[in-house]
């Protein structure tokens, strides 16, 4: 067998470059790029290999390890998991900075290859710079923190170990049922060691994501459950997007006369004009969808893990005859809450289930009610998000002002905080696949970094970021990245003076304003940030507006800008769109105020409606 003598780091990148993927029938790199912040543990060898192969696998400079990994995760989501980014860090704090990003990828079932540096396999120089020591277990390093938030974890202690490890990591990241982050920690002395690698290891390989086909018996059982229903709904999750099953979803809904709701991660699976799309369901959802969910006798959940914001902490289904049918590639997801399971790819699942259902349709009176509920809710949202002359516009007013002026192809991005709830109810996609977010981990700081990754994946579309002042202050360095790499973003900073959505929860639970609201943060020299000046200091364009009419005009200027444009607007911290679903959040049993007592009563009433299951 012919061999090639390479260092472990060189072999790593040569192998990754040989991996290809098919996108719209065209062969593309499976790994389109790598983010890196170099330091002790990755600069000398991984860094050198990245430079040697930069023409085939371009490298990008990160400014914070968490942020650069979030950018890579968002890129993978925008590419529907067909391409995977790499992120490499130093051995100590640089590595642990990426743990949060790994949690985002794991929670959202998204791939990223994390390559943190590690300590010396030889242990001769121990303890080395940035090494944490466990006195009774010398095999442990800071990188063991990745184990709980990785789908695949390995520590490379010999150069030949990558021969077995890399193929396994890639298969996990491409597995639709088990997709998530892969962490390969390579001991820094091993990175430098040479080995005679088989040349066959570096042969080009083209990967395609497999589509699991459903079991016939499971399809039959699911069809029987659906045929017995009179008031069914579809809950469309992010898995519909990853499967690229948007057409199959629309065709299925139309053929069988079933109204469609979406999770936060599934938003964008249907456009606003589809007659069967009702809206978003659950804790951040529309009253129209939640009214339907309370009366539905069957939910067909497709490509969703059925998180608490989707199910209203499992209180949203009040019909005593309620049944659940789930289509998902993951066995774990289809087993939840006594569901009738169909382990399947979403696209194939829709096709096979539709064949088995034949000409069956849900009663038209149920669909007519859904249409009526949708119209009533949209009227409410339109009024709440329309032009206003009030001194401080609400989040809804700000989102509505941008939405009215956005092109159908504009992609909106948001993440943690109160903006998610307002955006998902107002920004009804005018075109499919124009809503991107992170809601599985609800990670503050994802907004700008994630938007950068989405812009890298979709450079011909404008990417619009809605971010609160709290998240902006947590992570904003990728404004600079977007400027130096010519990846223009439009960033709307809604400044309401603190972490005001959590302030809202604090008050709702009977507590008093404390720390969340900047004005209640015990600051001895309270000041507010000039976000326009801050953005300009990083090379972006920026302006501050004071009304929705000014915001609309500024947005049109931002559309014409040739680089990232930040618009700051002061917003109301206490005005929100109406909520319509219970969400379980702990409420003190010992009441220290009348407000606490009322909150606890509401909490116990919501708990009574919860569906009991596992």
Q: CA-CA distance, 265 to 373, in Å (whole number)?
A: 22
Secondary structure (3-state) at 542: strand
- DSSP string over 184-242: EEEEHHHHH-EEEEEGGGGS-EEE----PPPPHHHHHHHHHHHHT-SSEEEEE-HHHHH
Q: Is the separation of the CB atoms in 579 and 403 below 8 Å? A: no
Residue located via tokens 């499967």: 243
Query: Can you say whether residue 337 is alpha, beta or left, with left for phi > 0 and alpha for psi between -120 and 50 degrees?
Result: left
Radius of gyration over every alpha carbon of the chain, rounded to an integer in angstroms: 25
Distance CA(452)–CA(62), nearest Å, equals 12
pLDDT at residue 579, rounded to an integer? 81
Q: Which DSSP state fits 407?
A: -
pLDDT tens digits for 408-437? Answer: 999 999 998 899 999 999 999 999 999 999
Do strands 232-236 and 194-198 pair parallel, antiparallel, or not at all (unpaired)?
unpaired
Q: Which two tokens stand for residue 103?
A: 């949690």
- Tell me: pLDDT of 167 over 90: yes
Over residues 63-77, mean pLDDT: 98
158: left (phi over 0), alpha (psi -120 to 50) or beta: beta
Helix (H) or strand (E) holding 595: helix 594-608
What are the structure tokens assigned to 91, written together? 């051995």
Residues 6+ apart with CB under 8 A from 146: 95, 98, 99, 102, 114, 116, 153, 183, 185
What's phi and psi for 149, nearest 5 deg? -125, 25
The per-residue pLDDT for 301 is 98
Q: Residue 613's pLDDT is what?
A: 67
Q: State which H helix or E strand residue 99 sits in.
A: helix 99-107
Residue 240: C-alpha distances to residues 284, 339, 431, 454 (Å)? 19, 18, 16, 18
Predicted confidence at residue 402, as pLDDT, reads: 98
**Could you check whether 3-207 and 216-376 share the same CATH topology?**
yes
Asked: is 216-376 a CATH 3.40.190.10 domain? The reply is no
Cα 361 to Cα 346: distance, rounded to the nearest angstrom: 20
Mean pLDDT for 576-592 is 90
Average the pLDDT over 392-406 and give the result.
98
Position 240 pLDDT exceeds 80: yes
Q: What is the mean pLDDT of residues 594-608?
A: 91
**Is the distance from CB of 96 to CB of 118 less than 8 angstroms?**
no
User: 88-145 pLDDT, tens per residue?
Assistant: 999 999 999 999 999 999 999 999 999 999 999 999 999 999 999 999 999 999 999 9
Phi (first) and psi of residue 347, to 5 degrees = -60, -50
pLDDT score for 68: 98
Whole-prediction pTM value? 0.97
Burial of 520 (0-12, 13-18, 19+ CB in 10 A): middle
Model pLDDT, residue 417: 86
Domain spans of the chain?
Answer: 3-207, 216-376, 388-570
Contact 128, 137 (CB under 8 A): no
Peptide bond into 127 cis (omega under 30): yes
Q: Which helix (H) or strand (E) holds 435?
A: strand 435-437
Q: Cα–Cα distance between 344 and 342 in angstroms, integer?
A: 6
Going by pLDDT thresholds of 50, 70 and 90, the confidence category of residue 280 is very high
Q: CATH topology for 3-207?
A: Rossmann fold (3.40.50)
> What single-letter DSSP state applies at residue 215?
P
As beta bridge partners, residue 118 has 187
Which one, of 182, 178, 177, 180, lies nearest residue 167 by Cα? Answer: 182
8 A C-beta contact, residue 90 and residue 37:
yes
**Residues 405, 555 contacting (CB under 8 angstroms):** yes
What's the confidence (pLDDT) of residue 266? 97
What pLDDT, on a 0 to 100 scale, did the predictor assign at position 489?
Answer: 98
Q: Is 31 helix (H, G, I), strand (E, B) or coil?
A: coil
| Tokens (6 digits) for 496 | 């309401």
Q: Is the pLDDT of residue 447 over 80?
A: yes
Task: Decide: helix, strand or coil at residue 36.
Answer: strand
DSSP annotation of 578 = P
Q: What is the mean pLDDT of the chain?
A: 96
Task: Please measure the distance between the N-terminal and C-terminal CA atoms of the chain and give it in whole angstroms.
Answer: 53
Tokens of 190: 């091993």
Looking at domain 388-570, its CATH superfamily turns out to be Thiamin diphosphate (ThDP)-binding fold, Pyr/PP domains (3.40.50.970)
Q: Give the confidence band of 351 by pLDDT, cuts at 50, 70, 90.
A: very high
pLDDT range class, residue 580, cuts 50, 70, 90: confident
- Residue 446: closest CA among 264, 310, 280, 283: 264
The pLDDT score that the predictor gives to residue 614 is 55
pLDDT over 70 (residue 58): yes
> What percentage of the chain exceeds 70 in pLDDT?
100
């Amino acid at each position: 067998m012919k061999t090639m003598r390479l260092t472990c780091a060189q072999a790593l990148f040569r192998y990754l470059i040989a991996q290809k993927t098919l996108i719209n029938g065209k062969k593309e790199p499976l790994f389109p790029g790598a983010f890196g912040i170099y330091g002790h543990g990755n600069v000398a060898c991984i860094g050198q290999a990245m430079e040697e192969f930069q023409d085939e696998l371009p490298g990008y400079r990160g400014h914070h390890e968490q942020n650069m990994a979030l950018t890579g995760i968002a890129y993978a989501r925008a590419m529907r998991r067909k391409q995977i980014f790499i992120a490499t860090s130093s051995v100590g704090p640089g590595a642990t900075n990426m743990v949060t990003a790994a949690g985002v990828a794991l929670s959202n079932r998204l791939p990223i290859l994390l390559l943190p540096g590690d300590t010396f396999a030889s242990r001769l120089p121990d303890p080395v710079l940035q090494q944490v020591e466990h006195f009774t277990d010398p095999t442990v390093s800071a990188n063991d923190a990745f184990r709980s938030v990785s789908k695949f974890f390995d520590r490379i202690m010999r150069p030949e170990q990558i021969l077995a490890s890399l193929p396994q990591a890639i298969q996990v990241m491409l597995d639709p049922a088990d997709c998530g982050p892969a962490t390969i920690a390579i001991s820094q002395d091993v990175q430098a060691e040479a080995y005679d690698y088989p040349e066959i290891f570096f042969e080009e390989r083209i990967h395609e994501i497999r589509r699991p086909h459903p079991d016939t018996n499971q399809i039959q059982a699911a069809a029987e459950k659906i045929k017995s229903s009179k008031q069914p709904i579809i809950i469309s999750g992010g898995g519909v997007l990853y499967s690229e099953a948007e057409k199959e979803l629309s065709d299925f809904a139309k053929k069988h006369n079933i109204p469609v709701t979406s999770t936060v991660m599934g938003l964008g699976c249907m456009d606003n004009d589809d007659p069967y799309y009702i809206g978003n369901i659950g804790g951040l959802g529309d009253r129209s969808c939640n009214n339907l969910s309370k009366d539905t006798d069957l939910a067909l959940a497709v490509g969703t893990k059925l998180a608490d914001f989707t199910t209203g902490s499992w209180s949203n289904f009040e019909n005593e005859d309620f049944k659940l049918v789930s289509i998902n590639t993951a066995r774990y997801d289809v087993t939840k809450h006594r569901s009738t399971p169909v382990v399947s790819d979403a696209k194939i699942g829709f096709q096979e289930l539709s064949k088995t259902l034949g000409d069956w349709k849900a009663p038209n009176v149920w669909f007519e009610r859904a249409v009526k509920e949708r119209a009533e809710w949209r009227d409410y949202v339109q009024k709440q998000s329309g032009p206003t002359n009030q001194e401080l516009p609400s989040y809804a007013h700000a989102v509505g002002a941008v939405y009215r002026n956005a092109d159908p192809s504009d992609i909106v991005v948001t993440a943690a905080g109160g903006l998610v709830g307002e955006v998902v109810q107002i920004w009804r996609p005018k075109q499919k696949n124009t809503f991107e977010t992170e809601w599985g981990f609800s990670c503050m700081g994802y907004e700008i970094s994630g938007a950068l990754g989405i812009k890298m994946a979709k450079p011909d579309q404008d990417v619009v970021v809605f971010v609160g002042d709290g998240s902006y202050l947590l992570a904003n360095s990728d404004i600079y990245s977007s400027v130096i790499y010519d990846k223009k973003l439009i960033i709307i900073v809604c400044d309401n003076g603190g972490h005001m959505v959590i302030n809202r929860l604090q008050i709702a639970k009977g507590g008093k304003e404390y720390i969340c609201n900047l004005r209640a943060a015990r600051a001895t020299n309270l000041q507010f940030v000039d976000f326009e000046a801050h953005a300009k200091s990083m090379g972006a364009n920026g302006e501050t507006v004071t009304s929705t009419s000014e915001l609309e005009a500024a947005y049109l200027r931002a559309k014409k800008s040739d680089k990232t444009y930040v618009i700051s607007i002061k917003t109301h911290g206490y005005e929100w769109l109406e909520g319509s679903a219970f969400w379980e959040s702990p409420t003190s049993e010992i009441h220290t105020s009348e407000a606490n007592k009322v909150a606890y009563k509401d909490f116990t009433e919501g708990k009574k409606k919860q569906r009991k299951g596992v």
